[in-house]
Amino acid sequence: MKSYVTGFPRIGEQRELKKALESYWAGKCDYDALERVASELKDRHIKYQLDAWSGLISVNDFSYYDLMLDTSVLFGVIPQRFAALSAHEQYFAMARGSKDAVAMEMTKWFNTNYHYIVPEISAYTEFSLNPSKILSEYKAAKNNDFKDSCALKINLIGPITYLALSKSSDKSDPLAHLDALAAKYEELLKLLSELDSEVIVQIDEPIFVTDRAAELAPKIAPIYQRLSKVASNVKIIFMTYFEHATEAVREIVKTDVWAIGLDFVYASEENIKKELQALKDAKTVLFAGVIDGRNIWKSDIDKKLAQLKAIEAYVPKERIYVGTSCSLLHVPFTLKYEDKLSAEIKSWLSFAVEKLSEISILTHLFFEIPMCEHGMKAYEENQKSAKTRASSPLIHDERVQSRAANLNKFERADRYEDRIKVQKKELGYGILPTTTIGSFPQTAELRQVRNAYKKGLINREAYERDIKAYIDDCVKFQDEIGLDVLVHGEPERNDMVEYFGEQMSGYAFSANGWVQSYGSRCVKPPLLFGDVSRPKPMTVEWIKYAQSRTKKIMKGMLTGPVTMMNWSFVRDDKPRDQIVKQLALAIFDEISDLQDAGIKI
């Protein structure tokens, strides 16, 4: 099968890795027990892909914490403050810190909500090779019962991306080490070439979808021509994702690199045409990322098939592989445990395991491979799902659409210079008023109260009594320390997005839709599936109560529309500028009610 998955989630379908990690960190199990869980997960994840007839299955996409951290360990980039620790202690101390050493910096992985551990590079950094993790995982993966159409590929973070995302500890340029690091990649590829008669290596270089692409593109051909010459049985995939990579395509076709991976979901049509034009007369194989690896909606297979046929006008079919736009790390694991979701909404969804089926169906159709009865049934269900989603009243609300379409006024009628004078006089605060951002600590007791109410173990009266007692304490504390503008502490809120989404139409919530944010930290984003409105006030009663407990100004606390959108899985059938307008109008309605209730900030 000429198909692939860029990468697969590692946290486990029921967050098994999270639980094992936290048990190990708490001293409740030893490292051997943690390794056993990891081994079971890696084996199970490969079996899922084999069952779906995935063509190329990733090895080394698993990590105990983060793949950038793994790459630092692979090449011996260990800050001196961790040098004295044992290997296991060192790895987790780099990510989480220890009693003697502060953790390495963590930041967002491109424009996703995943976070990576930032490598620390100095002018004196020297690289060494420690390939034991990759070698052992490859050999373990080979023990599976492979179908003739399936094979392994080894995933690596690319040298240019690794250094470009590194942090200099002494103001030197990390990219000055590119030649030295490339030599270690050559050494690694030579070792990998000995694993099999043919070895496929996916080298991720997503830095080339950023605005640094033009600056860094001249480095591609010299480095990757070197890597392509290491061993004749090693096939390299230069993998990009998250956006277009036009500059990278133009450079990679100058080399003998076997393939390039491109994102056909999030790149614009204009840039896609440029990339395909650059590939047209080349020999480079195309890994076409047409199945969305970042969102949870079922693909319209017919539309994806049409897209592949359009690609075929530039790149012949024999040079195309079909797969995901990026790693499936960014979506939940499986729909298997979603028993409480509306059946209609669930029929529109596709998590990581379900996307394997989409890839298989699409590959069969594109390459005209006969499908089994199960595959044909899944294809028919896909076509039905696409039709119902296009017309479902659950999604489409003409009143909301009309209101957003007619929103053309984005300024107040009066001038800020006049308004601020009235505000200062009305509110009576001084030159430098004091306040706090918003939420007070979410204690274990508070979570227990909310959980008990949600499960029906306590009634509304008992719940409100406990929440109001917490608000009373928050207000009293702020009054005592002399703040000017107070907050109510947000004890009723489980999450700054989920709390509001639960009270808006157009939102749904999964039971087990967890996505890894970093290490063992997982988040469960809401599903923004339809037109959004606010049926009734969401915060007014709590803020009014808090205001009644003080003579000082109590400010209303709301999550903004852009954060609401970006921290959700967002519908893909409507432009984002229209979605955020709907959210803004819902928040506007809440602001209006807060003002009518006497809340002045």
406 and 270 in one domain?
Answer: no
476 and 340 in one domain?
Answer: no
Residue 506 lies in a domain: yes
Cα 499 to the center of its chain, rounded Å: 21
Contacts of 169 (CB under 8 A, 6+ apart): 79, 120, 121, 122
Q: What DSSP letter does each residue of 430-478 carry, written as one string?
A: -SS-----SBPP--HHHHHHHHHHHTTSS-HHHHHHHHHHHHHHHHHHH
Query: Which helix (H) or strand (E) is 251 found in, with range?
Result: helix 246-252
370 and 273 in one domain?
Answer: yes
Lookup: tokens for 337: 């445990």
Q: Which residue has the tokens 């089994």?
A: 372
Q: What DSSP letter does each residue of 141-186 carry, written as one string?
A: HTTS---TT-EEEEEEE-HHHHHHT-EESSS--GGGGHHHHHHHHH
Distance CA 25, CA 96 (A): 10
406 and 384 in one domain?
Answer: no
Residue 518 lies in a domain: no
Find, among 195, 160, 200, the residue nearest to 58 by Cα: 200
Q: Parallel, antiparallel, or unpaired for β 106-108 and 115-117? A: antiparallel
187 and 66 in one domain?
Answer: yes
Q: What is the CATH number of the domain that holds 161?
A: 3.20.20.210
Query: What pLDDT score was predicted for residue 245?
Result: 96
Mapping DSSP onto H, E and C, the string for 341-352 reads: CCHHHHCCECCH
Distance CA 189, CA 201 (A): 8
Query: What pLDDT score was predicted for residue 140?
Result: 94
355 and 313 in one domain?
Answer: yes
Distance CA 92, CA 86 (A): 10
429 and 371 in one domain?
Answer: no
Residue 517 lies in a domain: no
Query: What pLDDT score was predicted for residue 408?
Result: 84
Q: Parallel, antiparallel, or unpaired for β 285-291 and 56-59? A: unpaired
Residue 519 lies in a domain: no
Distance CA 431, CA 187 (A): 64
Task: Indicate the SS3 state at residue 89.
Answer: helix
Residue 65 half-sphere exposure toward CB, CA atoms < 13 A: 23
| Residue-wise pLDDT tens digits, 128-164 | 999 999 999 999 999 887 777 789 999 999 999 999 9
Neighbour tally for 545: CB within 10 Å: 17
403 and 262 in one domain?
Answer: no
Task: Indicate the SS3 state at residue 193.
Answer: helix
pTM for this prediction: 0.93
Last residue of a domain, one of 353, 370, 391: 391
Task: Indicate the SS3 state at residue 479.
Answer: helix
Lookup: tokens for 514: 């967890």
Identify the domain containing residue 580 by its residue range. 398-512+524-596
Task: Indicate the SS3 state at residue 3.
Answer: strand
Query: What pLDDT score was predicted for residue 430?
Result: 82
Q: Which residue has the tokens 């594109």?
A: 366
505 and 366 in one domain?
Answer: no
- Which residue type is seen at 352? A
Q: For the chain, how many structural domains are there in total? A: 2
Residue 564 lies in a domain: yes
Last residue of a domain, one of 373, 391, 409: 391
Distance CA 113, CA 423 (A): 38
Residue 572 lies in a domain: yes
Q: For 56-131, where are the alpha helices, taking DSSP H only?
A: 67-74, 87-96
Q: Which residue has the tokens 């409480």?
A: 340
Residue 516 half-sphere exposure toward CB, CA atoms < 13 A: 29
Query: What pLDDT score was predicted for residue 429?
Result: 83
Cross-strand pairs, 516 = 522
Question: Are the beta carbons of 34 and 20 closer than 8 angstroms?
Answer: yes
Question: Are the beta carbons of 392 and 344 closer than 8 angstroms?
Answer: yes
Neighbour tally for 143: CB within 10 Å: 9
- Which residue type is seen at 507? Y
Cross-strand pairs, 285 = 259
Residue 120 lies in a domain: yes
Neighbour tally for 582: CB within 10 Å: 25
459 and 343 in one domain?
Answer: no
Distance CA 118, CA 94 (A): 10
461 and 485 in one domain?
Answer: yes
Residue 286 lies in a domain: yes
Find, among 226, 234, 227, 160, the residue nearest to 194 by Cα: 234
Query: What pLDDT score was predicted for residue 144?
Result: 83
Question: Are the beta carbons of 67 and 120 closer than 8 angstroms?
Answer: no
Find, among 29, 39, 245, the residue nearest to 141 by Cα: 39
Q: Parallel, antiparallel, or unpaired for β 199-204 and 167-168? A: unpaired
Last residue of a domain, one of 391, 425, 447: 391
Spans of the chain, pLDDT less than 50: none
What sign does the dihedral 509-514-516-522 (CA atoms) show? positive
Neighbour tally for 157: CB within 10 Å: 24
Query: What pLDDT score was predicted for residue 146?
Result: 75
Distance CA 144, CA 226 (A): 33
Lookup: tokens for 372: 């089994």
Torsion on CA atoms 232, 234, 238, 241, rounded to nearest 10: 160
Distance CA 242, CA 318 (A): 25
| Residue-wise pLDDT tens digits, 33-91 | 999 999 999 999 999 999 888 899 999 999 999 999 999 999 999 999 999 999 889 99
Contacts of 56 (CB under 8 A, 6+ apart): 3, 4, 5, 150, 151, 152, 153, 200, 321, 323
552 and 529 in one domain?
Answer: yes
Distance CA 167, CA 113 (A): 20
Q: For 320-395, where are the alpha helices, taking DSSP H only?
A: 343-346, 352-366, 373-391
Q: Which residue has the tokens 């046929």?
A: 309
